[in-house]
Amino acid sequence: MRERPGDIEVDIAENVARQDKKRILPIALSLRFIKLSDKHKLWIYIGHKGDYVVIERLYCSCSSFIRSLTRKPGCPHLAALEEAKRLGKYRKLEANPRDIEQILWESLNTKLSTTLRKLLKTTPTASQEDKHRKQ
Ligand SMILES: [Zn+2]
């Protein structure tokens, strides 16, 4: 089936492409994006006001995304994530499905995941940036 204009995925993709690069670059470079799962495109953005659940090009749990849904869906995090991926500016957590579930639950319900913080301390997280440097 062809995607119709007005489909939420299409609107988000357009919004991501439209975001002001200058505005999103500091977010992209912050190394606050944590990749939880390759398979499910699940990320956490460690924001100043709490942890946001981000699903690539689809969803962000921040308030501006929620507010945008009845207008032009999108938010700076969804756009910045694409930039962070492109630049390799993110951290990757090798979390198992149970931990991922816990992190998502805590992020959505308490806005601050203690499981994520614990795992970031105990698991060696490879920043993509560091990986490039070593090669
Ligand atoms: Zn957002």
CA distances from 30 to 14, 73, 102, 135 (A): 23, 23, 24, 22
Structure pTM? 0.86
Residue 82 alpha carbon to ligand 1 centre in Å = 12
Cα gap 52→59, rounded to integer Å: 10
Cα gap 83→3, rounded to integer Å: 24
- Asked whether 97 and 33 are in contact (CB, 8 A), the reply is no
- Asked whether 81 and 24 are in contact (CB, 8 A), the reply is no
Residue 23 alpha carbon to ligand 1 centre in Å = 13
Q: pLDDT 10s per residue in the chain (135 long)? A: 555 656 889 999 999 999 899 999 999 999 999 999 888 899 999 999 999 999 999 999 999 999 999 998 999 999 999 999 999 999 999 789 999 999 999 999 999 999 999 999 887 665 555 555 444
Residue 135 alpha carbon to ligand 1 centre in Å = 33
CA-nearest of 18, 12, 45 to 29 is 45
Residue 134 alpha carbon to ligand 1 centre in Å = 32
Residue 132 alpha carbon to ligand 1 centre in Å = 27
Residue 77 alpha carbon to ligand 1 centre in Å = 4
Residue 130 alpha carbon to ligand 1 centre in Å = 26
